[in-house]
Chains A and B, each alone.
Chain A
Amino acid sequence: MLISKEIKNIDGVTEVLVGMGTELNIELTENLGLMGPEMKDVSPNDFFIAADLDSDETMALVIEQVTQLLSQKKAESGSDYQPVSIAGALDIMPSANLAVVSIPGQYAEEEVSKLLDNDLHVMLFSDNVSVEAELFLKKKAVEKGLLMMGPDCGTAIINGIPLAFANKVKRGPIGIVGASGTGTQEVSALIDTFGSGVSQVIGTGGRDLKSEIGGLMMIQGMQALMADPETKVIVLISKPPAPEVAQKILNMVGETQKPVVVDFIGGDAQMITNAGAHPCSTLEDAALKAVALARGERPVDSDGFTVDESRVNAWIEDAVGKLKADQVNLRGLYTGGTLADEAMKLLGSSIGGIYSNIPLSPEYELKDLNNLSGHVCLDLGEDQFTVGRPHPMIDPSTRSDRFETDIDGTVAVCLIDVVIGYGSHEDPAGEVAQSIKAVKDKLAKEDKSIVVIASITGTEDDPQGLEASQKSLEDEGVIVLPSNAQAVRLTKEIMNRLPKS
C-alpha cells in the first residue's frame, strides 16, 4: 500500500501527501489544499510530508509512522541476510549439517574442504573438479565419516528433502546410492509409482566408481544405508564400474542382512548374482525388484510391458501402417544421459548401429552433430549441447532446436525422455509437445508422419504432475510408456518391422 494511503488511516488526519518534492507533486499538494510556506524550499530530491490534521500530536504521530514505514525495509534486511563466507553462514545456522555447493569447479576443492573441516556433509553440484581434488575430498570425508556427494552430483533426497534435480518421492523403506543422475531419478520415481518409497537417495557423482576414486562414496553411502534403521532394501545404480571397484562394492553385500539390488547398467550380472545381490536388466527392473523385496516378495525379472498387450499391438500396427517405405531411421533425443545410454544398450544391435555423442562403441561416435544420418541417439545434456546455455532439463529449447534440425523424412521413430520434478523446467512436456507439433506439420507437407515414443521420469506429486505431463504429450499423439525401458522395447518392436536402414 502507498505510504500516503496508510497515513491517511491515522485518526485526526484529513488529507496527506508523501513524496519527492518535484514540481508536479507540489502542484498536487496545492490542489489538495496542503501547501504551506515551507514547501517553497523543497526540491525534487527532497522528501516531504504535507498533511491536513487536527493537532501537533497527530503530526508527530504521522512523522513517526512515515519514518517507521520507510525504515521498516532497512530493519527487515537482516531477515534475508546472505552470508559471504562459510564462517558467516555457520554463525547464523550453527546446526546445519549439510551444504550444497555450486560454484565454479576450480574453487570447489578449497570451499568443500572447509565444509568438511566443519563436519558438514556436502553435495557438490559443480563439475570441472579435477580427479585429484575429488579423491582428496572424498578421502577426507571418509576419514570424518561424512558424505561428499559429487562432484557433478545432480540428484539426492536426504531425509525426504529433494536436492537439485529430484522428484517428489514418497518416503519408504528403500535406500538408493546412485552414480548416475537421471538413472537414480528414474528408479526413485518408479519406486513411488509402484507404491513404495525411499528412505534416502545418496548421489556419488559419475566418476566415483572409476579406478582413480575407487568407489569411496558408494561404499560410504552403502555403509550409511546398512546402518540406517529406516532402510530395508538397498539399491545401487551406476554405469559399469571398473572391475576391481565393482568387486570391492559387491564384497560388502555379504556384510549386510539387507537385500541389495544392483543395476550396473549393462554390467556383469553373474558377478552381481555371485555376490548375493540381485542384478537388474533395466532401471525399471531395479525399481520393481526393490519394491518386491521391500514387501517381502520374491523379485522376478521384468522384460515386457505393463500396459495391455492388445494396446501395444495396436500401437505397433498403427505405427507401421502410417510410415512410408523410406522412413527407416531412429532418433533418440534424450535430456537424461543414463536414459539415453540405457536405450542404446537395450536396442543393442537389433536395429543396426546407433550413432551417438555417447556411443556404446567408438566406431559409432558422431563426427558431425549437425549432419545426422542413420540411427542416432543423443544425450543433449552433454557439454557439446550445453555451452552457453542451461541443461536441457532446465531449458527445453536445446531439444526444440534439435527437433527442427534432426527430424527429416527418413525418420520413422523419435524416442524421447521427459524428466519432471524439482530443478526441471516448469513444463517440459508442454514444450516438447510444441516441438512435436511443429515437426509433424513439417512432415505433413511431404505427406509423411512420424511415431514419437516417450517415457516420463517423475511422480504425480512433482510440481509439473505426471498425469498432466502425460496428457500434454498424448494430446499431440505421442505414445507414452510408463518407463524408459518399455518405451525402448516398443521402439524396438516397431523398428524391427521396418525395412533396414
Chain B
Amino acid sequence: MTQLLLSKDLQKYMKKHEHVFLKVHSVFKDAMNIIDDKGNLVTLVSPNKDIAPMSAQVSLGSIPNQHLESGELVEIDGDTLLFPRLNIKLNFKDHEIWNPDYQKRKTDLSMNQLESRVMALKDLIETHGQLEGIVELIKYLDFSVPGIVSTSVKQDLNQYADFIEERVLKVLNLVYEGNYELLKEFIPRFVGFGPGLTPSTDDFLLGLIISHIYERRKRGELMKDIYSQISKVVESTEEKTTKVSVEMLKHGVRGKVSESYRLAVQAMFYDVKASFSKTCIRVLQNGSTSGSDYLFGVYCYAQLRLKWYREGGI
C-alpha cells in the first residue's frame, strides 16, 4: 500500500486554522483544488500523482468527483477534511509529512557535465515534450552570441510561440543581465499566457525561478537573500494570471515545488543517482503543456548559467 503524503505547509495551515470553511475551486481527473476565503489554495491529489506545496495525497476514488461542483462547501476540522454534502471525511492523521522546501544534494556538476545535461534536456523536450505551445521556441533560441540571448531564423511558429517570442527573449535577457528591477516591471506583461489553468508562461517562469534558487543555493547564497531578490518579481502577478498560477508562483519563490519538479531541477544541477531522462520524462508528462513549459524554463536557466560561465561572469 502506498504511504499517503501530506505537505508540511498544509499540515501547518491545518494546525493554525483548526476549523475553517473552504470551497471547491476546480476538479480534475487526479486532482482537486479547494480555496479558502483568503485565497489560500489547497490541492488534493491521487496517490499516483505528485505531492506539491499545500497539498495532500488522498484516494480520490473514494470521492465521486464527477458530482462535485465549483463552489461546493468543504470543511477542515482539526486533521480531518469534510465534504458535508457528500458526507465524506478524509483524515490526514496517519499521512507521512512531505517537506516541499529547498533540498540540497551532495555533489555538484562540473560545467562540462552541465553542458551535456542541457543538450540531453533539449533532446528530451523535443522528443517527449509538448511543442505545440511556447516550447517550440526551444528550437530557435540562441545563447551563443556574446552578451545577448537571441533567436535564429524561424519557420512557421505556432500561434503561441509566435505571440510570445519577443517577451521570452526580453525575460531571458533581463535574467541574464541580473536586472530584477526591470524584470519586476516587465513580468505583468509576461505572465498568464497560454493554455491551461497554469498558463504556459507561468510554468516557464517557475522553471526559471526554481533553477535560480537551486543554482544559487548550490553556490552558497542564502535562501533569504535569494528570496528578497526574486519575490518582488512575482508580486505583481495577482491580477494578471489565474489564482492557481499566483499560488504556484508564490510557493515557487520560496523554492517550493512538487516532488517531480524538484527532482528534475536537482537532476539538472546536481550529480544525482536517479536517471536524468526518466526524471525529466516524468515531468514532461505533467498536464497538457505544464511539464514541458516548466522544463523549458529549467533549460533556459541552465543555458544562461553556461553563458555566464563562458563569458567570464559568475
Contacts and interface: CB of A to CB of B under 8 A. Distances in A.
Interface stretch (B73-81, B108-116, B177-185, B238-246): B238-246
Interface in A424-443: 426, 431
Contacts of B155: none
A164 to B, nearest CB: 13
B132 A1 contact: yes
Given A25-B193, A74-B29, A77-B66, A45 B61 contact: no
Interface string A1-35: 11111000000000001111011110110011000
A20 B242 contact: yes
Given A44-B240, A73-B28, A77-B30, A28 B159 contact: yes
The B interface is mostly helix, strand or loop, or mixed, namely loop
B312 to A, nearest CB: 32
B231 interface: no
Interface stretch (B195-203, B207-215, B216-224, B256-264): B195-203
Contact of B193 (A24, A32, A73, A78): A24
Contacts of A3: 195, 288
A28 B65 CA distance: 33
Given A44-B240, A74-B66, A426-B275, A83 B199 contact: no
Q: Which of A2, A20, A23 is most buried by chain B, counting CB atoms within 10 A of its CB?
A: A20
Contacts of A80: 30, 46, 48, 61
A75 B240 contact: no
Interface in A74-123: 74-78, 80-84, 88, 101-103
B61 A19 contact: no
Nearest to A431: B273
A356 B130 CA distance: 53
A397 interface: yes
Nearest to B27: A74
Contacts of A17: 159
Given A22-B242, A45-B243, A74-B28, A103 B1 contact: yes
B65 A20 contact: no
B104 to A, nearest CB: 16
A25 B61 contact: no
Given A1-B132, A44-B239, A77-B61, A19 B195 contact: yes
A73 B62 CA distance: 16
Nearest to B106: A397
A17 B133 CA distance: 12
Given A19-B199, A44-B192, A74-B66, A102 B1 contact: yes
A76 B240 contact: no
Contacts of A22: 191-193, 199, 240-242
B255 interface: no
A81 B1 contact: no
Contacts of A101: 1
Interface in B116-145: 130, 132-133
B60 interface: yes
Given A2-B132, A75-B66, A82-B47, A23 B29 contact: no
Q: Which of A19, A28, A426 is most buried by chain B, counting CB atoms within 10 A of its CB?
A: A19
Contacts of A23: 192, 240
Given A23-B192, A74-B27, A77-B65, A83 B59 contact: yes
A311 to B, nearest CB: 34
B289 interface: yes
A361 B127 CA distance: 57
A145 B48 CA distance: 35
B29 A2 contact: no
Contacts of A18: 195
A83 B47 CA distance: 11
B90 to A, nearest CB: 9
Contacts of A75: 66
B199 A2 contact: no
Contacts of A20: 192, 196-197, 199, 241-242
B163 interface: yes
Contacts of B133: 2
Contacts of B288: 2-3
B1 to A, nearest CB: 5
Contacts of B197: 20
Nearest to B197: A20
B252 interface: no
B201 A24 contact: yes
A344 B160 CA distance: 66
Contacts of B297: none
B194 interface: yes
B159 A77 contact: no
B28 A84 contact: no
B296 to A, nearest CB: 15
Interface string A38-79: 000000110000000000000000000000000101111110
Given A19-B196, A32-B159, 7 more contacts: A24-B191, A24-B240, A28-B193, A73-B28, A77-B29, A81-B61, A396-B273
17 contacts: A17-B159, A22-B240, A24-B189, A24-B190, A24-B193, A27-B163, A32-B159, A45-B242, A74-B66, A76-B29, A77-B65, A80-B30, A80-B46, A80-B48, A83-B59, A84-B62, A103-B1
